[in-house]
Amino acid sequence: MALSETGTNHFKNYIAGEWIEGDSQVENINPSDTRDVVGLAVRSGGADLDRAIDAAHDAAPGWARSTPQQRYDILDAVGNEIIARKDELGRLLSREEGKTLAEGIGEVVRAGQVFKFFAGEAVRLPGERLDSIRPGVEVDMRREPMGVIGMITPWNFPIAIPAWKIAPALAYGNAVVLKPAELVPGSAWALAEILSRSGLPEGVFNLVAGRGSELGPRMIENPKVRAISFTGSVPTGRGIAAACGEHLKKVQLEMGGKNPLVVLDDADLDVAVGAALNGAFFSTGQRCTASSRLVVSEGIHDRFVSALTEKLKTLVVGDALDPKTQMGPVVDEKQLEQDLSYVEIAGQEGGKLAIGGERLTLEKPGFYMAPALFTETSNDMRINREEVFGPVASVIRVKDYEEALHVANDTSFGLSSGICTTSLKYASDFKQKSEAGMVMVNLPTAGVDYNVPFGGTKGSSFGSREQGRYAVEFYTTVKTAYTQP
Ligand code: ADP
C-alpha cells in the first residue's frame, strides 16, 4: 500500500494477516499545520483486540519453532527496508508528530538499526550448562519465548519505540499485539505494512489502534497475553503495573523523567551549552530523557545562562518539514496547554523567565511555542518536581559539586542524568553516585545507543531493561532442564 506524502492516508489495522476497518475513524492531524490531515486512522474496539490476541495466540507456537536463521532473515530484511525508505518514513513521522525532518529521519534509521541488531541476536540466543550437584545428571538452562506480548506505546517516538519492543519480541520467538498511541497511527501503520510483507506467518504480528483506556485494560485482562511492555506516563504505567499484578502478568514499564544536567565550574562552556540545548529542547523537549533541570554551579552560572539564552534567541521554531526549522511544534493542543500552564506555575512560584514560554503564531496554524528557560528556581518547585514534557527547562544554582549531586538525586525519577566537567574525579564520582539508569558525561541526557540497555531507576522504570542484549530478560522465560543420560 503506497503512502501519500502530502494527501490524506487511510491507516487500517492489521489483524491475523488482514487489513481491517475499525469501529470508527479518527483524523491524524499535522501539528505543524492543523489544516493538513495526514490520515484517517481506524479505531478498533474490544472485539478486534480479542481477535488479534486470538490470532497471536494461535500463531505463537509455530513462530516459537521457527529457526534462528528464519528470524534473522525476516528481521534483517525489515531493518533494511526501513533504512532504505528513511526519507519517506521520516517525512511521515515528522508530519504526524512534529519533530524536525532531520530528527524524524534519524528516528527511522534508528528503528531500522534496532531490527538489524535483533536479527543478529536471534542467531546468538544464549543458553547455559552447569554441572549438577548429583552424579551423572546434566543440567541446562534455556531461554524460551513468553508467548503473546502486548505492547502499548506513546506518541513521542512513533517508530523507534514500537521497533525496540517488536524486534526483540520476534527475535526471541514471541507473537505481538501492538496498540500504538492515538496521536501517531501513521508510523505504526507503516511499520505494520513492512512487517506484513516480510514473510512473518499470519498472526505473529498484529496492529490494533484504538483508545488506550479501553484496549489497555482489556489486553491486560486477557489470559492469552503473557507479558505487557508499556512506555508512557507514570499514572498510566502505575495502573498497568497494578492490573498486571492482579493477573500475575510479566510487565515492563518505561515512564517519565526529570533528568538533571549538572554543569560544574570547570566545564567546557560550549560543551555544556550544547548539551543543554540538545537535551532540553531538541524534539521540542518531548523526550523522557530530556534535561529539564539544569543544575549549575555558581562560578559558571551567569556565563552559562547568558550563552544558552543567546542560543535560544536564534533557535528557529517552525514547520517540522521545513529544512530551516530547528525545533518543531508541540504535538497537540492539550500538550501545549500543559506546557504553557507549567510556564505560569513556574512564574508564580518565583522562577524568573529568562526567555520564551509563549505560544507562537506563525504563518501556518500549528501548536508552536517559544522554548522557555527559567532561572533562579529551586529544586522543590513544581517545575522541578513534575514532568512537563515540553520545551521548558529550568536552571537551579548550586554552590559546588556536592550540592549538585544532592539536587540531581533529589527527585522521584531516575531515568537519565548528565554532568559537564573536565574533572575526572567529579565525572567518576557522578557516574557512581547518580541515582539514574543512564549517566552521561559531557553529553546530552537524551540520545542513546541501540546496542546497550535503556531504562531507569525509581519512578522512571519498572521491570527489566529494554534494548541491547538485556532485552532477552523480558522477552523470554528460563527453563531449567535436568537429564539422567
Ligand atoms: P502520553 O502522555 O505519553 O500519551 P499515556 O500514558 O497517556 O502517555 O499514553 C501512553 C500509551 O498508553 C498510549 O498508547 C495510550 O493510548 C495508552 N493508555 C492510555 N490509557 C491507558 C490505560 N488506562 N491502560 C492502558 N493503556 C493506556
Angle, helix 160-171 to helix 101-122, in steps of 10 degrees:
10
Question: Which residue's CA is the closest to the ligand 1 atom numbered 22?
Answer: 213
Three-class DSSP category at 27: strand
| Predicted pLDDT of residue 2 | 81
Whole-structure pTM over 0.75, yes or no?
Answer: yes
Question: Which residue's CA is the closest to the ligand 1 atom numbered 18?
Answer: 212
How remote is the CA of residue 2 from the centroid of ligand 1, in Å? 29
* Cα distance between residue 395 and residue 242, in whole Å: 35
Longest Cα–Cα distance in the chain: 79
Is residue 254 annotated as part of the catalytic site, yes or no?
A: yes
H or E segment and range at residue 96: helix 86-97
Are the beta carbons of 322 and 366 closer than 8 angstroms? no
Within 6 A (CB) of ligand 1 lie 152-155, 179, 181-182, 212-213, 216-217, 232-233, 236, 239-240
| Predicted pLDDT of residue 126 | 87
Sign of the Cα torsion 436, 438, 441, 443 reads negative
Three-class DSSP category at 20: strand
Are the beta carbons of 12 and 52 closer than 8 angstroms? no
How remote is the CA of residue 416 from the centroid of ligand 1, in Å? 22
* Cα distance between residue 464 and residue 453, in whole Å: 10
**Segments in the chain below pLDDT 50:** none
Cα-based angle 86, 189, 466 (whole degrees, multiple of 5): 75
Predicted confidence (pLDDT) per residue in 219-270, tens digit: 999 999 999 999 999 999 999 999 999 999 999 999 999 999 999 999 999 9
List C-alpha distances in Å: 68 to 122, 209, 311: 5, 30, 50
* Cα distance between residue 168 and residue 401, in whole Å: 40
| Predicted pLDDT of residue 22 | 85
Residue in 236, 246, 284, 288 to alter for ligand 1 test, most ligand atoms within 8 A of Cβ: 236
The amino acid sitting at 231 is: T
What is the DSSP code string of 239-267?
A: HHHHHHHHTT-EEEEE----EEEEE-TTS
Sign of the Cα torsion 192, 195, 197, 199 reads negative
283 torsion bin: left (phi>0), alpha (psi -120 to 50), beta (else):
left
Atom of ligand 1 nearest to the CA of 217: 24
Return the number of other C-beta atoms located less than 10 Å from residue 345's C-beta.
Answer: 15
Residue in 96, 97, 152, 386 to alter for ligand 1 test, most ligand atoms within 8 A of Cβ: 152
Are the beta carbons of 251 and 232 closer than 8 angstroms? no
How remote is the CA of residue 439 from the centroid of ligand 1, in Å? 27
